[in-house]
Amino acid sequence: METIINSQIPEFKVQAYHNGNFKTVSSDDVKGKWAIFFFYPADFTFVCPTELVDVAEKYEQFQKMGVEVYSVSTDSHFVHKAWHDASESIRKINYPMLADPTGTLSRAFGVMIEEEGMAYRGTFVVNPEGKIKIAEIHDNNIGRNAEELLRKVEAALFVAEHPNEVCPAKWKKGGSTLKPSIDLVGKI
């Protein structure tokens, strides 16, 4: 199994539903900024809306950090709009909902379930150079936590700005970091 960490995101061009409109989103739109790709199995399901709303409630914080969020499922942009129109919860979403009906993005990120035609719950944080810095994949019965995602993104931003420091377990913004050196070996 190959690792996806530090791999380049693929070139892509997909349709999206965003703020009441259909639009095209491509890999060119992602370049130069931090991004989260938040894959989920399908619209009109059970765990998915709880996760998408959880991320929506943190969206303003992600935006303040310069991070764009893209939710992705194998549904079409038309289905995203229908779900948005039908669900009070999904109307809270202000980030782009990418349509991946051919599964191209889901396959590229390694989350496609071929026999079901849908994706696993995959979360990927991508840096401005288009490299995947965080990858997390869950079985579809296990929901994610946007608070933990926010913490991980803060850590990724911190280490990108401070390449000689690392964030220990449970690190939170403003917390102590470590400067790896031979002097720390065996002392932590």
Is-catalytic flag, 48? yes
Q: If you count DSSP H runs as helices and E runs as strands, how many of each does the chain have, helices first?
A: 5, 9
Angstrom distance (rounded) from CA 181 to CA 120: 38
Angstrom distance (rounded) from CA 158 to CA 156: 5
Angstrom distance (rounded) from CA 185 to CA 89: 49
Strand partners, 137: 122
Contact 101, 114 (CB under 8 A): no
DSSP for 91-160, please give it: GG--S-EEE-TT-HHHHHTT-EETTTTEE-EEEEEE-TTSBEEEEEEE-TTS---HHHHHHHHHHHHHHH
Angstrom distance (rounded) from CA 65 to CA 68: 9
Write down the catalytic residue from 14, 25, 35, 48. Answer: 48
**Residues acting as catalytic residues:** 48
